Amino acid sequence: MSEVSRLEDVRAQHEMSIQQLHDTVDQAADEHGRKRDQATGTIHTLTSELRTTKQALEDVTKRERQVDSC
């Protein structure tokens, strides 16, 4: 095998390794994006539920004051 052939083989192997690394990075980025989107959705849901709970607490507190003042 000539030196040129050997170097071409090494180059081809490195190209495959680099492509595999690119694929791994792309998969990790996709997974990160999905997790970030899921976390954002969870935060929005919890924020909405917290607002609802806070409003309910304020309503109950207001009613208790009205009852106590009677």
Q: Please report which helix (H) or strand (E) contains residue 29, including its range.
A: helix 3-69
Residue-range definition of the domain harbouring residue 65: 40-70
pTM metric for this prediction: 0.66
**What's the burial of 68, exposed, middle or buried (CB within 10 Å: 0-12/13-18/19+)?**
exposed
Assigned token pair, 18: 């680099």
Max Cα–Cα distance, the chain, nearest Å:
102
Within a domain: residue 9? no
Domain count, the chain: 1
The confidence score (pLDDT) of residue 70 equals: 76
Within a domain: residue 65? yes
The confidence score (pLDDT) of residue 15 equals: 97
Q: Which portions of the chain are predicted below pLDDT 50? A: none
The confidence score (pLDDT) of residue 68 equals: 87
The confidence score (pLDDT) of residue 65 equals: 92
The confidence score (pLDDT) of residue 43 equals: 98
